[in-house]
Amino acid sequence: MTAQEVRLCGLLLQEHFGEMVEKVGTHLLKSGAQNLRMILHETGISLDLLKKSLCVLVQHGACVFSSGRKGPGSPTEYRTSCDRILRILRYPRYIYTAKTLYGDTGELIIEELLQRGHMTMSSTVKTVADRLTQNMEDGRSMDYNDVSNSFSNLVETHFLQRCPPPPRAGPKESATPAPHPVPGTPTPLISTALPTAESFPDCYKVPHVTLTGRGKRPLSSEDVDDQRNSKKAKMDSETHGDEGICWQVNFERFHLHFRDQAIISAVANKLDQTSSEIVRTMLRMSEVTTSPSATCTKPLSANEIFRSLPTNYNIARPILDQYLTLLVDDPMEFVGKAGESGGGMYVVNMHRALANLARATLESVVQERFGSRSARIFRLLLRKRHLEQKQVEDFAMIPAKEAKDMLYSLLSQNLVQLQEVPKTPDYAPSRTFYLYTVNQLPTARMLLQNCYKTVANLIERRLYESKESKRLLEKSQRIEAILASLQASGAEPEQLTEVEEMITAPEKQQLDALRLHINKLDSAENQVDETIFLIESYVNSTKTTS
């Protein structure tokens, strides 16, 4: 948990859940696992608010609780981790992916689940159907079955999973936020490792739910009071057979999808469209058979690949073999050959591909920041590992003075390291070799921290811009509200134009500029998040292999 990560998590929590939750969250991040009394004492928030904040964090999976360190009788402890909170940055990407794969229904399902944290299937389906019906033309509404089908599809491809049951035999969960456990209640002894969602056999089983009906439109104001009473009664009496089974978004599955996408687009950039289609087919075939942290996919025979190619790609068998050979010979080593049976067994090298993508990212950062000649030196050092000053100049064909300058600026930014190799035990400078070198993993880690800082900077700038124009924004909101109410109650066009003119032209210009700025900052956050994803995947892949 570095300082940059904590700062970014704090900003994300504040934006999505408010100041109170942010306070509790950052406190837990900085101090590790603590029980309720200690948090109460150290943050000084009232017990009520504290309980609510913890509820919110637990609901979203950001905070986990377990029995205390001192044994079964001690109060429960809560702990947060940065990873889950940093995922909030990636929400737009998840929603967009769901939209491309499963259409609007899928998009809304994922959006609802991301906003609520945990939800039962029935309540998700109902809410999504209502939202979809709102946007449809009058007279049409969304059937629950369609939404349920989309939901089941998402579960089948493992994008959604069941929440793990809480680590205590306590009151059953309902569709509303998980009940906050009261400290001091005796709990059964559990193992220190918290079970993940995947350790339960039913985690991808869709429950048998009786859900019939269609989405409802929002009611107009007169009917609300009557409906509210009757609706409440209806809600209580309707049970759909899936109480207590909550669902959450499976982030790891989305990450696998993003990783596959990155590999496919890299192949498309480097070679051509057909090769990327072949790699896409191979990855699709090994989606469910490969574990997330595997170094490479299971070997696939060329026959299988040929059969599974999409039908609109009519390439002949020998041409497929040529393409596969080309992919295997490529220095990037995306695809490797694992045997000769079945016409040749091929694997996709995940870890190697991730390492190459991370290396390309580092090179691109050096190129943009320091220039193409420094990038040349950087790539040279990555290839040749250790080089002396003179050798760098010779290989890179850069004049000595400039090469020295560039090496020193790279060294000052810690992108390049100096390794001393002494000839004599006394490390005398005249009798030591000084070799320049680049270590990919530590440099990647450093870049990752820089990315976190960058995103935090972008968020802060966005908040600052909104704060500066707060007065203007409030004014425009008021005017919009007035306009809307005037339109609803049927006003004449002159009144409308009069109200619109309350915003002067320069103010309008300022508002437009503000909107542009905020959009730019938002999209920049998403772009930096792409870099974060690549480097995080690379760093995590080295953790499992080392």
Partner 1 sequence: MPHLDPQQRALAINKLLSLGQLDLLRNSSGLLYRMKDGQGASKMKGSDNQEKLVYQVIEAQETKKPLRESCVWIWSRDIRFKSNLPLTEVNKILKNLESKKLIKAVKSVAASKKKVYMLYNIQPDRSVTGGAWYSDQDFESEFVEVLNQQCFKFLQSKVDLSMDDIETILNTLIYDGKVELTVIAAKEGTVGSVDGQMKLYRGVNAVLLPTGMVRTPCGLCPVFDDCQEGGEISPSNCIYMTEWLDF
Q: Is 536 in the site for partner 1 (CB under 8 A)?
A: no
**337 counts as binding partner 1 under rule CB under 8 A:** no
3-class state of residue 48 by DSSP: helix
Q: In this structure, are residues 320 and 501 in contact, taking their beta carbons and an 8 Å threshold?
A: no
Given the complex with partner 1, which of 57 and 528 has the nearer CB atom?
528
Identity of the residue, 101 or 380, whose beta carbon is nearer to partner 1 in the bound complex: 380
Largest distance between two CA atoms of the chain: 94
| CA angle (431 as vertex; 427, 432 as ends), nearest 5 | 60
Q: What kind and span of H or E run contains 65? A: strand 63-66
Site for partner 1 contains 278 (CB under 8 A): no
> Is 510 near partner 1 (CB under 8 A)?
no
Regarding 356 and contact with partner 1 (CB under 8 A), the answer is yes
Of 44-52, 315-323, 359-367, 436-444, the window that binds partner 1 (rule: CB under 8 A) is: 359-367
Please tell me whether residue 275 binds partner 1 under the rule CB under 8 A.
no
Could you tell me the two tokens for 109? 């399902």
- Cα 303 to its chain centre, rounded Å, is 36
Q: Which of 142, 211, 264, 365 binds partner 1 (CB under 8 A)?
A: 365
User: For residues 341 and 414, which CB has a smaller minimum distance to partner 1 in the complex?
Assistant: 414
Q: Which of 372, 424, 489, 504 binds partner 1 (CB under 8 A)?
A: 372
**Could you tell me which residues come within 8 angstroms of residue 148 by beta carbon, excluding any fewer than 6 positions away?**
121, 125, 209, 211
CB 244 within 8 A of CB 169: no
Q: Which is nearer to partner 1, 196 or 413 (CB)?
A: 413
Which of 511-516's residues contact partners 24+ apart within 8 Å by CB, and which partners? Answer: 511/469, 511/472, 511/473, 511/476, 514/465, 514/466, 514/469, 514/472, 514/473
Is 380 a binder of partner 1 (CB under 8 A)? yes
Footprint of partner 1 on 432-451 (CB under 8 A): 447, 450-451
Min dist CB 431 to partner 1, Å, is: 20
d(CA 163, CA 218): 30
Q: Which is nearer to partner 1, 210 or 527 (CB)?
A: 527
Stretch near partner 1 under the rule CB under 8 A, chosen from 97-105, 149-157, 362-370, 416-424? 362-370
Using rule CB under 8 A, residue 473 touches partner 1: no
From candidates 33, 328, 360, 441, binder to partner 1 by CB under 8 A:
360
C-beta of 272: minimal distance to partner 1 in Å?
Answer: 10
Total residue count of the chain as it appears in this document: 546
User: How far apart are alpha carbons 532 and 450 in whole angstroms?
Assistant: 10
250, two tokens: 């499976």
Write the DSSP symbol of residue 292. Answer: T
- Residues 234-273 interacting with partner 1 (rule: CB under 8 A): 266, 269-270
**How many binding residues for partner 1 (CB under 8 A)?**
52
CA-based nearest residue to 473, from 526, 518, 523: 518
* Sequence-ordered list of residues with C-beta below 8 angstroms from that of 300, at least 6 positions apart, any chain: 282, 285, 286, 345, 346, 347
- Of positions 202, 329, 340, 420, contacts partner 1 by CB under 8 A: 329
Does the protein bind partner 1 through residue 19 (CB under 8 A)? no
- 129 near 147, Cβ under 8 Å? yes
Choose which of 2, 308, 364, 509 interacts with partner 1 (CB under 8 A): 364
* Residue from the set 376, 406, 410, 538 that interacts with partner 1 by CB under 8 A: 376
* Nearer residue to partner 1 within complex by CB, 129 or 264: 264
- Which of 93, 99, 216, 461 is close enough to bind partner 1 by CB under 8 A? 461
Site string for partner 1, 382-411 (x = CB under 8 A): -x-----------xxxxxx-----------
Which x/- pattern over 193-212 shows residues binding partner 1 (rule: CB under 8 A)? --------------------
For residues 333-346, one letter each, b for 16 or more C-beta atoms within 10 angstroms of the residue's C-beta and e for the rest, the string is: ebbbbbeeeebbbb
At 510, which helix (H) or strand (E)? helix 505-545
CA distance 31 to 520: 35
Residue type, 446: M
Eight-class DSSP state of 35: E
In the complex with partner 1, the residue whose CB is nearer, 197 or 521, is 521
* Residues at the site binding partner 1, with contacts judged by CB under 8 A: 266, 269-270, 329, 331-332, 356-357, 360-361, 363-365, 367-369, 372, 375-377, 379-380, 383, 395-400, 447, 450-451, 453-454, 457-458, 460-461, 464, 513, 516-517, 520-521, 524, 526-531, 534
